[in-house]
Structures are given as structure tokens and as C-alpha cells.
Structure 1
Amino acid sequence: MASLLSLAVWWVMFLESLEAPAETTPATTPATTARPGLQGQMFSVNTGGSVTLRSDDLVSLSSFTVCLRHISELPETQKFFQLNLGGFNSISLSGTFEKFTLKLGNQFSQYSQYFSTAFPSFYYQKWPWTTMCVTWESGGGMAQLWRNGKTSVRKGLFQGQVLIGKPLLTISGFTGQVTDLHVWDYVLSRGEIASFSGGSVAREGTVFSWYSAQYSSSGYVVLEGLQIFSAALPSDQRLPESLAREKADLKMRRKTRRRNSKRGQPRRVTYSIAVTTGNMLNAGTVDDIYLTLVGTEGVSRRTHLNNFGRDFAAGSMESVFGGYP
């Protein structure tokens, strides 16, 4: 009888073991995540710290775009990122302030001058962040660097080559804050880069996306929310109200200009004051006035007023603003 009871107990335990799911041991990768990733967050990287983004997918890059935002004050050269795909298949960007070196494989180009595009510059001056984008395509080998919406000269680099491997992106040798790092396997359009520079991400990265990145960190690195900066980017990636209003106003002014042009009215650029520096009460007596003007054509100019009070009293505003260009 006892043997039959033992056999029954064993049979029940056996059936339960078939129904129960097998236990798995989770990966021990430190500070690693899938979704929701790093949206609305930033890494504060201190001396000796590093951040790594990884992917298990094999990629083949005949073109790419890398974009990120950073805050840093160190005057010496820093390495903003290094993307390794194995062997000589690597991409890195290093430099400081406005002089940067882009390296692909065993070749490199340096960039030190940046030129305004047709997009209004005030879209790129609202953040504490500096926006960087790098583009490259294998066919012509043309590489280009974008900084805060301004573009560098296009330079030939690593022409005809294709980068193949499993991507591993490292932020090391950098001190400051970094956020919104995306990597695409194609060259973003000028409009998409302008949108990124203005604070939004039209399409997340295809090789690495900040929104779904698997990451790990070592050394003195702190993961924080963007909201600690008063002018930080909103987590939903919408333009803040002030920028949205400026964008809507600019669109309306352009629409009015086109309508007036069709009616035969002369086209001219008018300016509105965007930034004022100086004491208006003491203008022309103690302090000078500096105005940054934003025009209806999307152009900006800086005007120095040292006789504002005299010209204003005389009603000669055209002499103050220099008339229309």
C-alpha cells in the first residue's frame, strides 16, 4: 500500500514538472535595458566613466548618419563617440568646441568652419545642448559634419568602402552630458537634420536608437532625467511652446509675403527683435544697445545702436535699423 502511495505521489510530481515552465537565468549585463530605453534621459559622464551601446544585429553600412546632443565645457580634445564593427570597420568623432576630427577606418578628415543654412538660426539657440550630426556615403565618399544646424564643407573619406559587423558604440574620453544618440544606416535629409537640431527626432535610429538602446556603463556615470535643465528637451520630443509659436509666426509671414508678391507688391525683408542686450533707458548716454533681428526670409542680423535715443526722438527709425537690405 505504501509503495502504491509513493508511486502516485511521484506520478503527480512528474506531471507538474511537465507543465511548469523551465526557469532561466537572466543575463548579468549591468545597467542594460530593451524598451523603453533612454528616452527623456541623459548620461552624466565624469572623468574615467564610459557608456556602451550594443546590438546583436549584423549590419552593413554603405552610408550612415550619427546624431547626438551634448553639454561639455572642457577646452581639451574629447572623443564624443566611437562606433566599432570589428577590425578596421570603425567610426569616431573627436574634438573640442568647433574643431573636430572624423575618422573612418584608417582615414580621417578635420572640420573647423561651419556655414549657416536656410533654416532660421534661432531654432538652434534655445537649448543648453550642442547638437552634432555626422553623415557619410560610400559612393562618393563624402562626409559632412553638422553643428547646431550649421554645416561643414563636404570632404572625401573612405570612398567605396562598406562597414560590416556587429555595432558596438562607446562614449569614452568624454566629460559632460550626452543624450539623444541615434545611428541610421542612411544619410538623413537636410530637413531631418534641421528638425533634430531644433529639438525633435523625426525618425529614430535604425542601427542604434536612444529609445530602445541596450546599454551598459562603467566608472563614474550617472543616468539622469533631462528635466534638471530648465531648457531641457521635452520627453515627448515636441517643440516647446515658444519655439512652436515662432515657427508658426515665421510660416505666417512667409505666407503673407507670397500673397503680397502675387498682388504685385514689392518684396522686402522686415525684421523683428529677437534678443536685446543693453539698458534701453540709458541708450545713447551710457550704454549701447545690441539687437539680434530675425527676418521674414529666415535670415538674422545683429545691429549695434549707439544713438538709439537720439534717432528715436527724431523719428528716424530707418537710420536706426539701416533700412531694408
Structure 2
Amino acid sequence: MVFPKATKTDYVTLRPKEKTLTKISVCLRSYTELTREHSLFSMAKHNFHNAFLIYPNPSGCLCISINNENIYYKVDPESLKWKHTCVTWNSKTGLLQLWINGKRYPRRVTKTRVPLTPPVSVILGQEQDKFGGSFDLNQSFVGEITDVNIWNYVLSPAMVMAYFADYYTISGNIYSWVRKKYTVTGQVSILQNQYYRK
């Protein structure tokens, strides 16, 4: 998926299986020249607009929001290459894990223990300030996103490393990239059968 410019009108809505998530793993690959903060993955519920948000700042910080609780990581500064990001969370323990390009950052524990319950709105390219909308141009993503998958369990380190090492995708059981259940709004381009090098 190619997001060509900063806008409030270009985004992709994913259609994951409707299921209560006590555990979740989200993995995706992205490529951008942005030097400002932006949203990579935005899941909203009616009572939490940042139910599950992956929000990097290329200056060396990445924010993960779970049920509007913000957890900040100091990460390696953004470089111009494909970036593989995986985030896992267990609502029962609060254990949050971030992996970028095969490197696991220090584990954190969230205060929130509220499972992610349907209905949810899952959007790529924009950050939701309310369920399904209220976008800010200055938070929009510009670049490429591929291989987005969601699981209802915590991926093991071996699975994350396998996902990072291979050009193909380990399909998610809540949302699978290969099944292509999404809706495009605006000028997002979908490239079929394109391959890239890490």
C-alpha cells in the first residue's frame, strides 16, 4: 500500500474478525522518509480512540497506546530502509513487547487490563481521534505499508524472528494480509505482486 502524500482523506480500513482480544500481536512492514511523528496502525473502540496504536517519531521515540495509556520507547533513529515492527500485549498480565527489525526492546507492563472488545475500527495511514475518523494531516503516514497481520495470541520470539527473516508473511488469524479484507479511501495505491528487499 502506497500512501503518496500528507492528507486527512487517504487511509485504509481493515476488516479483522470481530472477537474479544485478551491477547494481541500486530506485525507490519513499513517504509517512509517522514521526519515527523505519524501513525502506523490505529485501532479504536467507542470508549478508547487509542485502543491499540503504534505511533513512531523518527527522531528516536515510539509510542504504543493501549486503551489510551501511552507507553514510550526510546528506539534506534529512523533510517531509510524497510522497517519491520511487531507489538504484542497480554491484557491479563499487562505485558507489552516491542520488536523492530528483529530487536526486542525492554518489556513494559501496562496499568490497563481491559481486553480489546468489538466493535473496533482499524485504520492504516491515519490516527483516529474518534471511532473511525477525526484525522489530523500532521499525524498521517506517507510511504509504504505491507504485510499487516493480527493474531489473538502473543507471538513467541522465534515466530517474530521468522517473520522478520522471511520475505513472505506468517498469516494472522484475526487479520491476514493475504486475504486482503480492507477498504481503500482516497488516493492510496495498492501494488499487486510487488517484492522488495529489506
Structure 1 counterpart of 2:190, from 223, 238, 250: 223
Alignment partner, residue 166 of structure 1: 119
Which residue is 1:95 aligned to? Answer: 56
| Correspondence 1:139 to 2:89 | no
The aligned runs of 1:68-79 (5 Å cut-off) are: 68-79=28-39
Residue 83 of structure 2: aligned partner: 130
- Aligned-residue offset at 1:105: 1.1
CA distance 1:96–1:102, change in 2 (3 Å): same
Q: Output the amino acid matched with 1:93.
A: I
Which of the numbers 102, 109, 113 marks the counterpart of 1:149?
102
TM-score normalized by the length of structure 1:
0.50
Contact 1:54–1:167 under 8 Å retained in 2? no
> Structure 1 residue 203: deviation in Å?
3.7
* Match in the other structure for 1:110: 72
Structure 1 counterpart of 2:62, one-letter code: F
Q: Distance in 2 between matches of 1:106 and 1:199?
A: 33
Structure 1 counterpart SS, 2:179 = coil
Offset of residue 228 of structure 1: 6.4
Q: CA deviation at 1:139?
A: 2.1
TM-score with structure 2 length normalisation? 0.81
AA of the residue aligned to 1:110: Y
**Aligned residue in 2 for 1:177:** 144
Once the two structures are superposed, residues 180-216 of structure 1 have per-residue CA deviations (whole angstroms, 9 ceiling, x without a partner) of: 0001011000000001111255641111110113211
Give the one of 24, 28, 41 matched to 1:81. Answer: 41
- For 1:138, the aligned partner's letter is S
Q: Which amino acid aligns with 1:142?
A: L
Gaps of 5+ in 1: 1-42, 115-126, 233-325
Alignment of structure 1 residues 1-325 onto 2, 5 Å: 43-46=1-4, 47-48=6-7, 49-55=10-16, 57-88=17-48, 90-97=51-58, 98-113=60-75, 128-171=81-124, 172=126, 173-200=140-167, 203-225=170-192, 227=194, 229=196, 231=197
When you count helix as a share of all residues, which structure comes out higher?
1
CA contact (8 A) 2:67 2:114 kept: no
Report Cα offsets for 1:116-137 as digits up to 9, x if no partner: xxxxxxxxxxx94210000111
Which letter maps to 1:155? R
Change beyond 3 A, Cα 1:186–1:228: closer
* Cα deviation digits, residues 29-85 of structure 1 (max 9, x gap): xxxxxxxxxxxxxx0012222111124x43111111000000001100010010124
Tell me which of the two structures has the higher relative contact order, counting C-alpha pairs closer than 8 angstroms and 6 or more residues apart: 2
Unaligned runs of 5+ in 2: 127-139
Q: Equivalents in 2 of 1:226, 1:99: separation in Å? A: 33
1:158 CA drift (Å): 4.0
Q: Quick one: distance in 2 between partners of 1:175 and 1:77?
A: 11
**Alpha-carbon spacing, 1:201–1:187, altered in 2? closer, same or farther (3 Å):** farther
Q: Is the 1:79–1:174 Cα contact (8 Å) retained in structure 2? A: yes
